[in-house]
Every structure is written in C-alpha cells, then in structure tokens.
Amino acid sequence: MQLLLVNEHPLVRAALENLLRGAFPTAQLSLADTVEEACVALGARPVDLVVAGLVCRRVANQQSLSDLVDSAAPGRVVVFGECAMGLGMRHSMASGVHGYIPATSRPDLIAAAIGLVAAGGTYFPQEPPFHGHSRGASGIDLAAHLSRRQFDVFQALKDGKSNKVIARELMISVATVKQHVQAILKVSGARNRTEAAALLSRQPTHSSSAD
C-alpha cells in the first residue's frame, strides 16, 4: 500500500509517521508538509491513501481540501483534525474526504479508523445534528428539489466518482461540480457524499426540470 502523510507541524507529523509505520509495516510511506506540496506529489505518483493532518482553523480553506481529494482520486483521503467535531469536520466531510479522525482519539482507534478507510470504508465521529438540516429525514421528495444538472452530479456521486471524473463526463468544470455537490448537501441535509447518496437513493428517481 502506498501512503502519503501530510502535516505541517514536525512534531505531530513525526508522531503520525511513527503510528503509521507501526500499524502498516509493509506500506510505503511518503511525507509532505502542505496540501499544495501533497497535490504536486500526487500528480507525479498516485497513492492508495492520504492521511492529512490539518489544523481546524485551516480546514476552513475547504477549496484546498477539495483539491487534495481530487488529486488523490481514486486514492482515499482521511483527515486528522485537532477538533472532535464542528465546522472543521463538516468542511472536511463536504470536501469529499473518506474519514475524519479527531486528534484526541486513542492511538489504537486512530490506527483502526485509518485501516477502515484504507479498506474502502468511511469513518466520522458521531456529531449531534445541527439546525437547518432536517429535510433529509422528513420524507420530502428531495430529488424533486434538485436541478437537472445537480441530479446528474448526484447520480455520479452514488457511483463513487471523483469531481474530476464527473466534470469530464458531464463536460463541466471541476469548480462547477463542487458547487453542485454543495447544493446537493444543502438540499439533502447530509453531512457528506455518502450520507447524501443514502438519503436520496430512497427518493423518487426524477429530477427537477430546472437547469
């Protein structure tokens, strides 16, 4: 397995590197200081899993994290964040990452969560629901609230396609795909792509006539 660890803090990076080498002794591990450096490295050599240790106040730069997810595809991305929940985790989820692990987690849990994501699963700590996102469970015909293009993007998300692949297939820009993904999350009340797909897959399969 090819792993890439991204963290700008030498001490935290060293601790995560030690944990990863112990948990995955046969994996080939490479290091990057920043998301930008990681994206360049991924362009040169793809990896199976990216572990991105990000400070919560910088996770607010959701664009950078989305770029990392796109650059890593079809590899998977798990975020190691300093906050257990809140805006940092929600931004990470909306960016399409496959896992979010709080820095307060036990080392054995961190290793298990990373292993789960590497095996194709997802891991996010349970967070109390926040206001304004209840429509997904209310029985509303969510699919009818999506535009035609948003519905096309949603169908691609259900198939696990990356933003780059969706943009190529629909002949739109990656930035436009990201805008549609955000709209889908807002309409569904979901916290990430997987949750949105689960909610909408139970809805009627028609879409709005709006573009």
In tens, the pLDDT along 80-135 reads: 876 555 666 777 777 788 888 888 888 888 888 888 888 888 888 765 443 333 34
Domain spans in the chain, listed from the N-terminal domain onward: 2-118, 135-200
Model-level pTM?
A: 0.58
Q: Which helix (H) or strand (E) element contains residue 56?
A: helix 56-59
Q: Helix, strand, or coil here: 2?
A: strand
At position 160, the amino acid (one-letter code) is G
Mean pLDDT of the chain: 76
pLDDT tens column, 137-147:
334 455 556 67
What number does CATH give the domain 135-200? 1.10.10.10
Q: Helix, strand, or coil here: 132?
A: coil
Residue 186 to residue 190: CA distance in whole angstroms = 7
Cα angle value 210/133/153 (rounded, 5°): 40
Q: Which CATH superfamily is domain 2-118 in?
A: Response regulator (3.40.50.2300)
* Tokens encoding 29: 């591990």
